[in-house]
C-alpha cells in the first residue's frame, strides 16, 4: 500500500508539473528567478505530501500527534525541506551578488559609448525620409482605419497594438500583424491562419494592408500549440526569451524576432542580449542566431527600453556606486522617451541625455543601434525634448495640436528638433522645427519642404551661421538652362538648373512666382548651398527675361495663340 500510495502521488504530481509547465512555459534557465521559485514550490509541495502521509499514519494507529513531534519530520520530508531552503538561499544570494553596490563598473561596461562631433558625423538634412516622425499611437489609428475598409478581414481579425519600427531598403516603416478577434474566431480560422499584416509609412502617413499567399499559423493571438510564445519557448526550453517582435524582411516575408537574454552581473542582474530566435510564423520553423550571426535584415534585437537602461547604467555608474549616490559628479541619464532614425539600413533609437539633477535641459544626446547595440554620444547642449514639444505646441496653440516626440537633425550645422503636430484624432496635421540652442526659434508648416524653408529663413534673420562661421544663405546671379516641375509626396518641387550645372530647388506652394522662370532667364537667386550641388532656393528676382524678346507669332513651337490675346495671356500660354 505504501508503494502504491507514492506511485499514485508521483503520477498526479507529474501531471500537475506538466500541466503547469505547458500553461506557463517558463524558461528552464538558472538566470530566471521564476526557475528557482518554481523549484521551491515543487519541493515545498513534496514536503507537505510526505508530512501529511506520516501524520495520517499516526492517526490511523491512534497515536496522539503533538506539535513537538511534528517538528521531527520523516527523513524524506527533511530532504525536500532542505532543498526548498536551498532554493531560497540561492535566490536571495543571487540577488545580493547582483547589487550595484558591488558591481558598479560591471554595469557601466555593458554599453560602450563613443563620442562624436555633431556637425561632422551627423549628415545635414534637407528633408526627412529616414526618421520615423509618426508615433505608434498614430500608426495604430492609420492601421485600424485601413483594416476597417476591408470587409472580408475586419469581421474576423484586428490589428495587433504593437508596431515594430523597421528599415526597408533604408526607409523607415512600422509593421504589425493581424490578430484573431476572439477564441472562437481563432477556432474558425486556425486552418487558414492570419491572412496578412499592416505596413504604415511613418514619413508620409500611408498605410497598406499586405495579404499573404499562405496564412500565419503561429501568432501571439493563437491558442494551445499554435500560440507563438508557447511554440518558441518549447522549441528552445532553456532560452530566456524577452519579447516577440513582428518584422518583415526586404522581400516582405513575415517573421517574429525573439531576443534571448542572459545575466551579465551576478545570477539575475545586468540582463543583456546574447542572441535571437527567428521564427517563421507560417510553418513554425525556428532558428537561433548568436549576436555576431544575426541576419542584417533583422532590426529589433535591442529594444529601446533595454538600450536606454544600459545607457543609464553607463551614465550613472561609470565613476562608481557611491558617486552615483553622493555628489553625482558627471552622472547623466536619458530622457523619458525615445524616437527612431534610419542610418544605412539599421534602425537607431534617439534620445536626449540630461543631468541627473533634472534641470530641464539636455547636455547631449545618443544614438543606439537596435541590432548591434553600438552607441554614439553627441555633446549638444540645449532644450530637452519636452521643452521643444511645448514650444512647437505653443506656436499653434489656437489649433490645440499635440507634438510627437522629436528627433534631432542637422540643418546648416545647427542641431534642430523636428516633430509632427497631431490633432485630437491622432492625425498628422503639421510639421514643426525647433532650434535646440534657442528654442524660441520655432517654424511650423503643413509640409516638410515648407517647414524647412521657414526654419532656414528664421536662422538667417536671427543671425545664425553655419558650423564654419559663414552665413547660411548666399546670393548671386545665374543664367537659367533648364526648369523642371517634379511632383513629390509633399507637393510640386521646382528645379532650376543654371549654365554652370548648379541646381536650385524650392516647393512651388512656397512661391508660385516660380512659374515665371523660363529657360534663358537671368536671375538673382538667394539660396542655401548644399555640397551635392542641389541648393535650396529661398528667393529670386528676374534680372533679364527672354519673354521680352518673344515674337507673338509662336506657332512654330506648337502654341495656339489668339489674335486678340493680350501680353499677359500670351506670356502665360508661352510658359505652359
Q: Do residue 162 and residue 269 come from a single domain? A: yes
Residue 200, in any domain of the structure: yes
- Whether the Cβ atoms of residue 506 and residue 493 lie closer than 8 Å to each other: yes
Residue 321, in any domain of the structure: yes
- Whether the Cβ atoms of residue 307 and residue 370 lie closer than 8 Å to each other: yes
| Residue 279: strand pairing partners | 256, 286
pLDDT of residue 284: 97
pLDDT of residue 464: 59
Q: Do residue 142 and residue 274 come from a single domain? A: yes
Q: Do residue 153 and residue 271 come from a single domain? A: yes
DSSP string, 483-534: EEEEEETTEEEEEEEETTS-EEEEEGGG-GGGGG--TT-EEEEEEE--TTSE
pLDDT of residue 465: 55
Dihedrals phi, psi of 200, to nearest 5 degrees: -125, 125
The cell numbers describing 538, all together, are 529661398
Cα–Cα dist 52/228, whole Å: 40
Coil/strand/helix, residue 339: strand
Alpha helix ranges (H) inside 326-483: 385-395, 448-461
Q: Do residue 177 and residue 236 come from a single domain? A: yes
pLDDT of residue 169: 87
Q: Do residue 365 and residue 422 come from a single domain? A: no
Residue 102, in any domain of the structure: no
**Could you tell me how far CA 324 lies from the centroid of its own chain?**
29
Q: Do residue 186 and residue 272 come from a single domain? A: yes
> Comparing C-alpha atoms, which of 78, 51, 45 is closest to residue 67?
51
pLDDT of residue 546: 76
Q: Do residue 163 and residue 237 come from a single domain? A: yes
Q: Do residue 164 and residue 292 come from a single domain? A: yes
Q: Do residue 367 and residue 391 come from a single domain? A: no
6 C-beta neighbours (distance < 10 Å), count? 15
CA distances from 525 to 286, 449, 463, 509, 575 (A): 60, 18, 19, 18, 20
The cell numbers describing 71, all together, are 517538528
In sequence order, which residues have a C-beta less than 8 Å from that of residue 184 and are 6 or more positions away?
none
> What CATH number is associated with residue 407?
3.10.450
Q: Do residue 270 and residue 141 come from a single domain? A: yes
Residue 70, in any domain of the structure: yes
Residue 63, in any domain of the structure: yes
Domain that holds residue 444: 385-461
Residue by residue, pLDDT tens for the chain (576 residues) are 567 767 887 888 889 889 989 999 999 999 999 999 999 998 998 888 877 766 666 555 555 555 445 455 677 888 889 999 999 999 999 999 999 999 999 999 999 999 999 988 988 887 777 777 888 888 888 899 899 888 778 889 999 999 999 999 888 999 999 999 999 999 999 999 999 999 998 887 789 999 999 999 999 999 999 999 999 999 999 999 999 999 999 999 999 999 999 999 999 999 999 999 999 999 999 999 999 999 999 999 999 999 999 999 999 999 999 999 998 999 999 998 899 998 888 999 999 999 987 667 899 999 999 999 999 999 999 988 999 999 999 999 999 999 999 988 998 888 999 999 998 887 888 999 999 988 889 999 887 877 888 888 888 777 655 544 455 678 899 999 999 998 875 578 899 999 988 999 888 877 888 999 999 999 999 887 876 778 888 889 999 887 654 444 444 344 454 545 554 454 455 455
Q: Do residue 209 and residue 158 come from a single domain? A: yes
Residue 562, in any domain of the structure: yes
Radius of gyration of the chain (CA): 33
pLDDT of residue 158: 94
CA distances from 416 to 158, 333, 360, 419 (A): 38, 21, 17, 10
Buried b (16+ CB within 10 A) or exposed e, 263-289: bbbbbbbbbbbbbbbbbbbbebebeeb
Residue 130, in any domain of the structure: no
- Whether the Cβ atoms of residue 288 and residue 273 lie closer than 8 Å to each other: no
Q: Do residue 372 and residue 395 come from a single domain? A: no
> Comparing C-alpha atoms, which of 334, 291, 344 is closest to residue 311?
334
The model's pTM is 0.81
Residue 337: enclosing H or E segment and its boundaries? none
pLDDT of residue 258: 98
**How many domains are contained in the chain?**
5
> Comparing C-alpha atoms, which of 462, 438, 335, 439 is closest to residue 388?
439
The cell numbers describing 115, all together, are 563620442
Cα–Cα dist 225/519, whole Å: 69
5 C-beta neighbours (distance < 10 Å), count? 12
Residue 127, in any domain of the structure: no
Cα–Cα dist 383/379, whole Å: 13
The cell numbers describing 257, all together, are 524576432
Dihedrals phi, psi of 215, to nearest 5 degrees: -70, 160
> What CATH number is associated with residue 536?
2.40.50.140
Q: 320, 354, 380 — which closes off a domain?
A: 380
392 C-beta neighbours (distance < 10 Å), count? 28
pLDDT digits (tens, 9 = 90+) for 341-377: 988 889 999 999 999 876 678 999 999 999 999 999 9
The DSSP code for 240 is E
Amino acid at each position: 500500500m505504501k508503494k502504491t500510495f507514492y506511485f499514485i502521488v508521483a503520477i498526479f504530481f507529474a501531471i500537475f508539473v506538466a500541466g503547469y509547465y505547458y500553461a506557463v512555459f517558463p524558461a528552464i534557465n538558472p538566470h530566471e528567478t521564476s526557475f528557482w521559485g518554481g523549484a521551491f514550490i515543487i519541493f515545498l509541495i513534496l514536503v507537505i505530501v510526505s508530512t501529511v502521509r506520516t501524520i495520517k499514519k499516526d492517526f490511523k494507529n491512534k497515536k496522539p500527534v503533538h506539535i513537538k513531534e511534528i517538528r521531527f519530520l520523516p527523513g524524506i520530508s527533511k530532504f525536500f525541506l532542505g532543498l526548498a531552503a536551498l532554493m531560497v538561499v540561492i535566490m536571495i544570494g543571487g540577488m545580493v551578488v547582483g547589487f550595484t553596490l558591488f558591481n558598479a563598473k560591471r554595469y557601466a561596461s555593458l554599453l560602450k559609448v563613443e563620442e562624436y562631433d555633431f556637425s561632422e558625423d551627423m549628415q545635414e538634412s534637407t528633408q526627412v525620409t529616414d526618421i520615423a516622425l509618426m508615433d505608434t499611437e498614430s500608426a495604430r489609428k492609420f492601421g485600424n482605419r485601413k483594416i476597417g475598409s476591408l470587409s472580408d478581414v475586419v469581421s474576423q481579425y484586428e490589428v495587433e497594438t504593437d508596431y515594430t519600427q523597421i528599415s526597408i531598403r533604408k526607409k523607415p516603416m512600422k509593421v504589425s500583424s493581424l490578430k484573431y478577434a476572439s477564441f472562437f474566431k481563432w477556432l474558425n480560422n486556425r486552418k487558414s491562419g492570419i491572412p496578412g499584416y499592416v505596413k504604415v509609412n511613418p514619413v508620409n502617413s500611408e498605410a497598406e494592408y499586405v495579404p499573404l499567399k499562405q496564412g500565419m499559423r503561429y501568432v501571439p493571438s493563437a491558442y494551445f500549440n499554435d500560440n507563438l510564445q508557447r511554440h518558441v519557448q518549447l522549441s528552445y526550453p532553456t532560452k530566456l526569451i524577452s519579447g516577440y517582435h513582428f518584422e518583415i524582411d526586404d522581400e516582405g516575408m513575415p517573421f517574429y524576432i525573439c531576443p534571448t537574454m542572459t545575466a551579465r552581473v551576478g545570477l539575475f542582474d545586468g540582463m543583456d542580449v546574447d542572441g535571437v530566435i527567428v521564427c517563421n510564423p507560417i510553418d513554425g520553423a525556428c532558428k537561433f542566431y548568436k549576436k555576431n550571426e544575426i541576419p542584417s535584415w533583422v532590426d529589433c534585437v535591442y529594444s529601446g527600453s533595454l538600450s536606454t537602461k544600459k545607457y543609464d547604467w553607463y551614465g550613472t555608474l561609470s565613476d562608481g556606486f557611491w558617486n552615483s549616490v553622493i555628489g553625482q559628479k558627471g552622472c547623466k541619464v536619458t530622457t523619458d522617451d525615445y524616437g527612431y532614425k534610419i542610418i544605412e539600413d539599421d534602425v537607431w533609437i534617439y534620445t536626449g541625455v540630461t543631468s541627473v539633477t533634472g534641470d530641464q535641459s539636455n547636455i547631449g544626446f545618443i544614438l543606439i543601434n537596435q541590432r548591434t547595440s553600438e552607441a554614439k554620444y553627441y555633446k549638444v547642449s540645449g532644450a530637452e525634448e519636452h521643452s521643444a514639444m511645448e514650444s512647437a505646441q505653443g506656436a499653434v496653440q489656437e489649433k490645440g495640436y499635440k507634438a510627437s516626440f522629436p528627433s534631432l537633425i542637422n540643418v546648416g550645422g545647427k542641431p534642430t528638433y523636428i516633430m509632427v503636430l497631431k490633432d485630437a484624432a491622432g492625425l498628422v496635421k503639421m510639421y514643426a522645427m525647433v532650434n535646440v540652442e534657442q528654442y524660441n526659434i520655432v517654424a511650423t508648416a503643413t509640409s516638410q519642404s515648407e517647414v524647412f524653408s521657414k526654419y532656414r529663413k528664421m536662422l538667417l534673420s536671427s543671425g545664425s551661421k553655419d558650423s564654419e562661421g559663414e552665413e547660411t544663405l548666399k546670393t548671386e546671379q545665374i543664367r537659367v538652362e533648364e526648369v523642371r516641375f517634379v511632383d513629390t509626396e509633399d507637393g510640386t518641387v521646382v528645379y532650376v538648373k543654371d549654365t554652370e550645372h548648379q541646381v536650385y530647388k524650392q516647393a512651388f506652394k512656397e512661391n508660385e512666382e516660380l512659374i515665371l522662370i523660363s529657360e534663358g532667364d537671368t536671375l538673382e537667386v538667394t539660396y542655401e548651398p548644399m555640397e551635392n550641388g542641389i541648393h535650396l532656393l529661398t528667393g529670386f528676382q528676374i534680372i533679364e527675361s527672354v519673354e521680352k524678346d518673344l515674337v507673338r507669332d509662336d506657332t512654330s513651337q506648337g502654341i495656339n495663340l489668339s489674335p486678340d490675346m493680350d501680353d499677359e495671356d500670351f506670356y502665360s500660354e508661352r510658359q505652359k
